[in-house]
Amino acid sequence: MQQQSPEFVVISGAMYQLPITLRRSEPKIAKLPGLLLMATLAALIVVPQIGLAVYAVASPELRAVLVANPIAAVELAIALVFWAALVCWPLRNIVIAMASDRIIDIRNGDVMVVDRTPFSTQGWRMPLSTYAGVSVKIRTSLSSVVRDVVLVHPEASRSVTLATAEQVGQGEILELCRILGLPLLRPDAVTGANGPSGGHKFDADLAPAGA
């Protein structure tokens, strides 16, 4: 494989030798523009409104006006909650994504996945024998085409992405299938929409061996 995405970091073992342990996290640089944008919007929109709300509560004159006009007070409160949710919720999601990661461990006939966020740690374990095989899924963007090497499970939520690269060598994928004891599947098996393809081998869109 060539130019593996920096979001995948091998902790121990090797890609073609068990056990395999990987850590997957969101690329920090890719999230940085969104973080800066939402932080700027929060500073320009939400912070002044919070300051105004604090001043209104602390000021006897404004507090008396709001008490005398409860509808206006409710409208101001709704506006504050609306703008805070509109800006702060996406900002929260970006921060959580940047601080989260996924640990994938394949050993002793099991696939164990642990998802860690700043607020929780959740995990699950599945027997390797329950997986249908390995598939290569192509993802495209405006700037590049990358291939995800996916360990496919009949239950789509249990499918696991093992690696991401611009080129995936056919020999490397076949070697990975060999050590996992699983067949190479069609790319459409990744979605799980039609179920696994019964182990049918599929060689399209793979670089020649040794690429």
- Sketch the domain layout of the chain as residue ranges: 8-13+111-189, 31-98
Contact 125, 106 (CB under 8 A): no
Contact 180, 139 (CB under 8 A): no
- Torsion 100-97-122-134 (CA) sign: negative
Per-residue pLDDT in tens (0 to 9) along the chain, 211 residues: 444 444 555 555 555 678 888 888 776 666 778 878 888 888 888 888 888 888 877 888 877 887 888 888 888 888 888 888 888 888 888 888 888 888 999 999 999 999 988 888 999 999 999 999 999 988 887 777 888 889 999 998 999 988 888 888 888 888 889 989 999 998 776 544 333 333 333 344 444 444 4
Q: What is the pTM of this model?
A: 0.63
CA angle, 202 then 169 then 7, to 5°? 105
Q: How many helices (H) and strands (E) does the chain have?
A: 5, 8
